[in-house]
Structure 1
Amino acid sequence: MRRTARALQAGLLALALAALAVPAAINAAPAFIAPPSPPAPVIPAAQLPPASLAPMGVAASPKADAAQPDPARLAALLNPILASDAGSLTGQVLDAATGAVLYDRRATAAAVPASNLKLFTAVSALKNLGADTRLQTSVLRGSEPGTLVLRAGGDVLLGAGDSAPGAVNGHAGLTSLAQQTVAALGGSASGGVRLLLDDSVFTGAALNPEWDTGDVTAGEIAPVFPLATNSAMPDLKGGSRPQDSALAAAQLFASILGKLGVPVQGAVGRVAAGDPAATEQLAAVASATVAEQVAYMLQNSDNFLAEVLARLAATGQQRPGSSADATAVTLATVKSLGVDVTGLTLADSSGLAMANQVSAAQFAQLVKLIVTGDDANIRRAIDGFPVAGLSGTLESRYDTAETAAGSGLVRAKTGTLNVVKTLSGFVLDADGRLLVFSFMGNNFSGGSAVAQPLLDQAAATLAGCGCR
């Protein structure tokens, strides 16, 4: 049983017993005695059974006085794991509290990061947009009579139905937006309306030229627009992703309006450049917070959402919303936060591009910034790190004898391309010392699957190691 699980179970049992003690004492009184009713006892809040489990936080509770691992002993354990001749493996382990380098294997060598790159995107989005910001999708009265404008605000996790306040994907729903619109029109549009789409918040090409056409064809990514349902994933299993997710969402919205008694006349068009701006808002729905969307993006390694959030971060800095602006703002942001960007190359924001170049040392610096930095917005990225064996892209890993020590303890972002496997995150070691790490595998002749167990075993070794 995991240490954190044992501690949690013990705490819950103590709380439950404390809560049961009160009714047990009351029931012990003889039933035939009827003294004046005493005041109801006040149970201290700390003794009440919890209504829900608390979030895990950084990992558990790092011990301030825990001993730092000895670098020589750590190297003796990690080097045999990472000395594979099937590909190139680099890595770095830092002490989270002091920043001391505890392990270094060609850590400054640039490598293809795959989806580990989303950690850079997460920091940029949280810093430039704000963790608690919500993205608004609205309907405005158009400048021409009988015209409505559906204005995109960057929410690509819209649902088709009613808004679902407890969800991230589907937090805002097109049906709820349509219902508000119909109510605002008050029957004045029963004869029909014309619907225009305003998705002008983004500029530039919707497809990054650095992406392999095979990845686009396979549905790993779709053309990037600031409006979509379900992160531009296909409606049906086995279906293809929409090539214009904003127009597809607008067409769906038109269909919903029709079902609610406001037919849309003609095809949905786009607001033309130079048209008078629509200003009277009729209806609006708001997304989950940026922090919640970032966590969803990291947990699910959502390529489309990563690209959208990065472009929104650029617009948050009054830059155009192109892919190039997104990477430029990300680079400038992490540099301003103290990450050494020497040799760092960003070709996209999701990690699909093979032209991306990041070192393990840069990832280790970034993870340390997230888990120990003083920026409250950036620290919200902690929620997005998958937990080994339990959640996100690590849910089905850490189930072997070599990796079991990391199950429930390792929290890390994964990355996978054909010949690339990466893993960057943080973990408490056996003595309670918080460590941050990045392990990167490139050019694996047998494919990324060959590298995965090596990276997982290295991270699990950190979890099981006191190494003093």
Structure 2
Amino acid sequence: MVHHPRSKRCVSALGIGGAALSLLAGCAVQRYSPSAGPSTPQSSLSTPGTPSAVATSVSVQPSSPAPSPTVTFAAADPALAAKLAGLLTTAATPKPAPVPSVLSVVVADASGGAPLYAKGAEAALIPASTQKVLTTMAALSILGPQYRFSTTVSAAATPADGVLTGDLYLQGDGDPTTDEADYAALASAVSAAGIKRVTGSVIVDASAFDDVDYNDNWGSPFPNVSRPPVEALTVSPATVSRLGSVRHVGSVEVSYAGAATEGKPAVVTLKPASASAYVKIDNKSKTTKAGRNLISLARAPGSNTITVTGSLAVANPAVVWPMTVENPALYAGAVFKSALASAGVTVKGAVVRGTKPADATQLGAHQSAPLSQIVHDTLKESNNGYAEHLVKALGRTPTSPGSWASGTARVRDWLSSSGIPTDGIVLLDGSGFSGGNRVSARTLVGALQYARGQAWFNAFYDGLPVAGVDDVDVAGTLAKRLVGTPAAGNLRAKTGTLNVSRSLAGYVTGADGRPYAFAIIGNDKLSSVLAYEDAVAILLATWRS
């Protein structure tokens, strides 16, 4: 079983009297299918320090190499440009070849300068998840790699004899990684403050983000973790997948298995277990003597009842399926209330929405892992939920909540102020899931070149998936790509996949040490685009200028 490296997060428990305690917690995506100001532009780009290397069976480039001071590469490379152009027509790319009118390609020296090769460079196409390159760069630049999200619990009254007369306030500022253990630690902080009974309610304050929790640009609401509801308070349980231990924002993990006796319903459980206080199961399934797994799970929009239908065989092994839930902030409050009960704290009232009073006393605080770790996970597994939380966090100001409109505007402003081309760009979300997004290869390569000169570059570069490496924590979405080729362990890039788009953007080092930045976006003949991406990667990895 592969798990992500986890940075430690802590919950500080502050008693009403001011005594401080420390409670440590661990810290931590489903890959989808279908306040400092921004950095100023730099006229010359330097090479940052070396990111940490990870030992695998494939040699991994530890950093984006810069040429030796004694080596000068030509500003143009006509031979390389000709070879790259030929990939569209030679046997290296299966037929039918990618359609030029919906293809945007740029290859450039990663250190800066004009493209060495371009095809439809300024064509703004559907970028799919390569859009996360822009979202994570903006987050690292504006918030900083050490930025941490915070979730707090507070009270407006002083407890007496173990009784808090009034409400508890659970407030979040957009942490996409909170799970049951984190809320349990906050509940322990309440208990440590001497509170055993609460006469009021659990008030959830998710006002750091707006009240639009589902992006209309994704189509009709659907309980798929690829397009989760986004609120400033959420629950993100981890699921073990082919990409390791993956956290799904605003979701519950549904597990079902065949019963021991024929005719009985399938055995259905939820993770976290405390989700049963908020999510209901309508189990209409049936266990049969033999047969295939024919179970279906469904949740209607606006409902938190999951209906289980179909059949599976006796003793069929457990199958795990994550599903999103409605109103993640209320879900977080329900999980927190359950944790309070486990910690010996009873709450008379319900979980309701509200706003924390300005004079409330903080009882405990949970901090996320540093932003650098969240960006790592966002890029490695192409975590849509994380990216959407980041873009809303970018849109938040002291006087207004974060929203998709304000967050994407902040990303565009950051690109412009950094000198990165933005012609034709349309950003409707943070993850690239919407088919209405538009980005060109020119914009992506401009961002990749710019990033190499920034103090936060290592955090971004370490998060990029690495091609052809057998350690999924290093390879991410590129684990099965370019295996056994010269690009394996060399190419670091963000993948993008939608049913209308295939894309790849990142870095690769030539055989002579020249660092390349490249971006490829194709919106037709997607299988051919994939082959073309691989052919470009192999050519660049073996090229000598």
Same fold (TM over 0.5): yes
Task: Say if 2:166 and 2:199, in contact at 8 Å, map to a contact too.
Answer: yes
| Counterpart mapping for 1:123-142 below 5 A | 123-142=137-156
- Aligned pair partner of 1:323 in 404, 407, 424: 404
Write out per-residue CA displacement over residues 197-221 of structure 1, whole angstroms, 9 at most, x where no aligned residue.
Answer: 000001152112211337x444311
Report the equivalent of 1:247.
330
Task: Provide Cα deviations, 1:286-343, integer angstroms capped at 9, x if missing partner.
Answer: 0011121112111111111111111111215865311100111110011101112122
What is the CA distance between 1:66 and its match in structure 2?
4.0
1:19-418 paired onto structure 2 within 5 Å = 57-59=62-64, 62-66=67-71, 68=73, 71-83=77-89, 85-87=97-99, 88-142=102-156, 145-161=165-181, 173-184=182-193, 186=194, 188-190=195-197, 194-213=201-220, 216-230=222-236, 231-236=249-254, 237-271=320-354, 276-315=357-396, 319-371=400-452, 373=453, 375-377=454-456, 379-390=458-469, 391-399=475-483, 404-418=485-499
Larger Rg: 1
Partner of 2:274: none
Identify the residue that residue 41 of structure 1 maps to in structure 2: none
Rounded to whole Å, the distance in 2 between the matches of 1:240 and 1:100 is 45
Amino acid aligned to 1:91: V
Amino acid at match of 1:415: G
- Counterpart of 2:521 in structure 1 is 440
Contact 1:311 1:321 in 2 (8 A): yes
Amino acid at match of 2:219: D
Structure number having the greater helix percentage: 1
Say whether 1:462 aligns with 2:482.
no
Per the TM alignment, residue 133 of structure 1 is displaced from its structure 2 partner at its CA by: 1.2
Mapped to 2, the partners of 1:463 and 1:61 lie a distance apart of 14
Matches of 1:98 and 1:127, distance apart in 2: 19
How far apart are 1:142 and its partner, in Å? 3.3
For normalisation by structure 1, the TM-score amounts to: 0.78
| Displacement after TM superposition at 1:464 (Å) | 1.2
- Conserved 8 A contact 1:66-1:433: no
Cα deviation for residue 53 of structure 1 reads: 6.1
Gaps in structure 1 of 5+ consecutive residues? 1-49, 162-172
Structure-2 separation of matches of 1:425 and 1:52? 19
Cα distance in 2 between the residues matched to 1:317 and 1:389: 44
Compute the displacement of 1:56 (Å): 5.7
Secondary structure of 2:396's partner? helix
User: For structure 1, which segment, 287-296 or 191-200, has the greater mean C-alpha deviation from structure 2 after superposition?
Assistant: 191-200
Secondary structure of 1:108's aligned partner: coil
CA distance in 1, matches of 2:459, 2:210: 28
Maintained 8 Å contact 2:138/2:411: yes
Alpha-carbon distance in structure 2 between the residues aligned to 1:179 and 1:442: 51
1:289 is matched by which residue type in structure 2?
Answer: P
The percentage of counterpart residues that share the same residue type is: 32
Deviations 1:223-246 (A, max 9, x none): 111122222243232242112222
Structure 2 Cα separation of the partners of residues 111 and 94 of structure 1: 19
Matching residue of 1:33: none
Q: Structure 2: where are the runs of 5+ without partners?
A: 1-51, 90-95, 158-163, 237-248, 255-319, 470-474
CA distance in 1, matches of 2:380, 2:152: 28
Which structure's residues are more often strand, by fraction?
2
Q: Amino acid of the residue matched to residue 388 of structure 1?
A: A
- 1:146 is displaced (CA, Å) by 3.1
Partners of 2:132 and 2:421 lie apart in 1 by 17
The 2-side partners of 1:65 and 1:393 are apart by 36
Q: CA deviation at 1:124?
A: 1.7
Tell me the CA shift for residue 455 of structure 1: 0.9
Distance 1:213 1:135, change over 3 A: same
Aligned to 1:34: none
Structure 1 position 277, deviation (Å):
3.4
* TM-score normalised by length of structure 2: 0.68
Between 235-244 and 353-362, report the one with greater CA deviation: 235-244
Question: Taking structure 1 as reference, are residues 122 and 51 closer, same or farther at Cα in structure 2, changes over 3 Å only?
Answer: closer
| Closer, same or farther: CA 195–383 of 1 in aligned 2, 3 Å | same
Q: Closer, same or farther in 2 for the Cα pair 1:57/1:337, shift >3 Å?
A: farther
Preserved CA contact (<8 Å) 1:193 1:263? no
Q: For residues 12-69 of structure 1, what are the alpha-carbon distances to aligned partners after superposition, in whole Å with 9 as ceiling and x for unaligned?
A: xxxxxxxxxxxxxxxxxxxxxxxxxxxxxxxxxxxxxx99869964335643444537
Aligned counterparts of 2:327 and 2:184: Cα–Cα separation in 1:
20
Q: Is the 8 A contact 1:156 1:228 kept in 2?
A: yes
The answer as to whether partners of 2:154 and 2:364 remain within 8 angstroms in 1 is yes
Q: Do the aligned residues in 2 keep the contact of 1:422 with 1:439 (CA within 8 Å)?
A: yes
> C-alpha offsets along residues 371-397 of structure 1, whole Å, 9 cap, x if unaligned?
2x2x31355211211111121111121
Contact kept in structure 2, 1:232 and 1:241, CA below 8 Å: yes
